[in-house]
Structure 1
Amino acid sequence: MVSFQRIDGYVLTPQGFIRGFIEQENGRITRIEGEPVSESQVRHDTVALPIVLPGFIDVHVHGGGGHDTMEGGEAALQMSKLHVRHGTTSLLATTMTAPLEDIRNAIAALAPVCRERAKNGARVLGVHLEGPYISPAKLGAQPDFAKPASLDEIHALHALAPIRLITLAPELPGTLELIAQLRAEGFQVQIGHTAGTYEDGVAALQQGAGGFTHLFNAMTGLHHREPGMVGAALAHARYAEIIPDLLHVHPGAIRVAMRSIPCMFCVTDSTAAAGMPDGDYKLGSHTVTKCMGGVRLPDGTLAGSTLTMDQALRNLVGMGLEIEDASRRVSTFAAEYMGLSDRGQLAVGAWADLVVMDRALQLQRVVVEGEEIDLA
């Protein structure tokens, strides 16, 4: 394993940028020193030092490099190797709505990948269970196997591999009560694929739901007399996912969400088509087509994305965000949301998860837990 000892450049710390260096030992950051600088200096300094940011964290990713989480086997391993080459240092492998036996098999196959990080791979922190406990009226690209949630089923799946995040539709019978139980047991819960009302959303947040799955997509929209689930998020949420591929959500709507939701963070919702040429790919039991920069079902419905987190960062900066703000939305806020105090920031004692970028925010180096990733 190739490990870095020291990297010099403009290092983004929790207090802002410094011009200095970062050191690590045994996968943990041991030293950060330098002089504070403004972002303007970082952007315009003619020395052209590299920019060092926290590694990206993606809590909603279905696949990549031609592999889909639901395939089991080595799919998640290969997915982690694709996304790490785009700066994602840790992720949640995300399942699809499917017959319970298919979900069980997929999660069982994830267990070894969650236990041990592969060389040249991202850290797979666990599972995001996106379905089957969602609304049949708001499937989006999910197959039609939605069903009411069951605590016993969730426990059984969690025994196979660590489930860290669960998407639920709060309007389904018994779900509100279940949210409080899940939160008490340490699961993070978010609201998504829901036909619920504004009131359903508020009630779910009061029960302990922490955020919203791919905000705006597959949920009831905002109307001034029926605020819907989007209205509940904009009015009350601290955290929410958003897919900033500029296809799923208009940049104007992203700006609205950023003004309303303090810690809105980015996910890719990427599919097997990420990092691959145009063509047909699997998304759970669906066949989807990658073309014109997107992924769609035969009827034209958006079916996940081909987004990578480095492009998500560039898209946010292209919309006018400061690099520091964009970095928080692809790293820090997701770490906070998932209770990861030692990831998503460059600080002494944290894991040495970082990306090194040039002035155009193109990746030069990726480091996961001190290991230098081969980007070839």
Structure 2
Amino acid sequence: MTTRIGGKIVRPGAVVEGYVEVDGPAILSVEAAAVTDDDVIVPGFVDLHCHGGGGHTFTTGDAESARRAAAFHLGHGTTTMLASLVSSPFELMRDATEAYRPLVEAGIIAGVHYEGPYLSGVRCGAQNPEFLRDPSVKELAELIDLGGVRLVTVAPELPGALEAIGFLVERGVAAAVGHTDATYEQTLAGVAAGATVGTHLFNGMRPPHHREPGPVVGLLSSPVVCELIADNIHLHPGMLAFAAGTAGPDKAALITDAIDATGMADGTYDLGGQQVVVADRVARLARDGSIAGSTLTMDEALRNTVAAGIPLADAVAMASTTPARVLGLGDEVGALEAGLRADLVVLSSDLRVKRVMRSGRWVE
């Protein structure tokens, strides 16, 4: 049985009126035609960097909590996502990776992202400094052997970092530069070693300076995809527009960096063993006031990006197409094209979620 969904269809580089025809779990065709509906149809969002949502977290290794966090974000249009851990003891990383493998096999999450512990102590932000350590190929080898590891954030200036990045690439795992005090040259060395992602550009990084460009300029001028947290808190809308415009939609990916407090009331939460206080959507560490993740969803990130002046087609590429390519899934998801998986989001004219489809089935 086929399903036809009409509206303004956002395809790579264009917005066209027409219909998406779905047959089973796949897109059968996308045809241009006059429609009366003003709904906006976009590919399902792909979130490379998320720690939880809806009161549930990815950071503790609890599989049921992870399942519920993924379900929360699915309701906001995220049909593909990584479960991001924070800096943790090796045992927790191992146990969580093992616990999440059935979720990866079932397609509930696309894999695991380690945001830490191989990060700069100077730029650790809300990461727990107790668990930071230098990169270890031995640790990474054991973790990757468990399956499901898709992305690892590394500060390239640390001892052993370049070797670790090269090892990740050899094993088919994407490496990201982030939470780093690296110089411009050290950043480029990380890219040369194989890093293909910049973790939440600007945040957790040495600020740019005209005599020491640092990681921000190094990443923007390199062939890597720069993550952007479009919550208007981590990045001013003007800075979001600047970074997205400089990188272009093929080199920028919207992420949430969401924590369990996303979609929940203000209050006290936990992140990696540290107390987080959420007030008026802003999450901060209780101990020093550092921003501690976000309460963002991908649909809101899309709205904020468009409001910042980025064209809708470009913003959708940043929310879906580009991050899908980072994960090596561009031939499966991330665009509304015949033959790809029928992951799509029907938005109202003001870009609010009306319905979500994953693998050809509407999400309740």
TM-score (norm 1): 0.91
Name the SS of the counterpart of 2:101 in structure 1: helix
Query: Deviation at 1:347?
Result: 0.4
Q: CA RMSD in A?
A: 1.6
Deviation at 1:81, TM superposition (A): 0.7
Distance of aligned partners of 1:14 and 1:308 in 2 relative to their CA distance in 1, 3 Å threshold: same
Is 1:370 matched with 2:360?
yes
Give the AA of the match of 1:302. Answer: I
Q: SS in structure 1 opposite 2:128?
A: coil
Alignment match, 1:108 = 98
Indicate the SS of the match to 1:5: strand
Q: Deviations over 1:318-365 (max 9, x none)?
A: 112221111111111111222212211000110101000111111110
Deviations 1:111-162, CA, capped at 9 Å, x for gaps = 1111114xxxxx4100011111111221110111111111221121123341
From 118, 139, 142, the equivalent of 1:133 is 118
Unaligned stretches of 5+ residues in structure 2: none
CA contact (8 A) 2:12 2:317 kept: no
What residue number does 1:33 align with? 31
> How many matched pairs?
358
Matched, 1:264 2:259: no
Asked whether the 8 Å contact 1:179–1:204 carries over to 2, the reply is yes
Measure how far apart 1:4 and its partner are: 6.8
The C-alpha deviation readout for 1:73-100, integer Å capped at 9, x for no partner, is 2111000111011110110000010111
Match of 1:361 in 2: 351
Q: Which residue of 2 aligns with 1:159?
A: 145
> Is this contact kept in 2: 1:237–1:261, CA < 8 A?
no
Residue 303 (structure 1) aligned to one of 268, 292, 301: 292
Q: Which of 183, 189, 208 does residue 222 from structure 1 map onto?
A: 208
Q: What residue number does 1:14 align with?
A: 12
1:206 matched to 2:195: no
* Structure 2 match to 1:251: 237
Q: CA deviation at 1:49?
A: 2.6
Q: Are 1:68 and 1:79, in contact at CA under 8 Å, matched by a contact in 2? A: yes
Which residue among 262, 279, 284 is the counterpart of 1:274? 262
Which residue, out of 83, 86, 94, partners 1:93? 83
Q: Deviations over 1:264-290 (max 9, x none)?
A: 111000000001111111212112111
CA distance in 2, matches of 1:131, 1:238: 19
Distance 2:72 2:2 in 1: 21
Verify the 8 A CA contact 2:10 2:16 in the aligned structure 1: yes
Deviations 1:155-180 (A, max 9, x none): 21123341001100101112112212
Q: 1:357 to 1:173 in 2, by over 3 A?
A: same
Alpha-carbon separation, structure 2, partners of 1:66 and 1:180: 36
State the match for 2:314 in structure 1. 325
TM-score, length of structure 2 as denominator length = 0.94
**Equivalent of 1:283 in 271, 293, 300:** 271
Deviation at 1:48, TM superposition (A): 4.0
Cross-structure match for 1:150? 136
Q: How far apart in 1 are the matches of 2:168 and 2:38? A: 46
Question: Which residue identity is paired with 1:285?
Answer: G
2: CA distance, partners of 1:361 / 1:15: 18
State the distance in 1 between where 2:326 and 2:102 align.
24
Runs of 4+ more than 6 Å apart = none
Q: Does 1:77 align with 2:77?
A: no
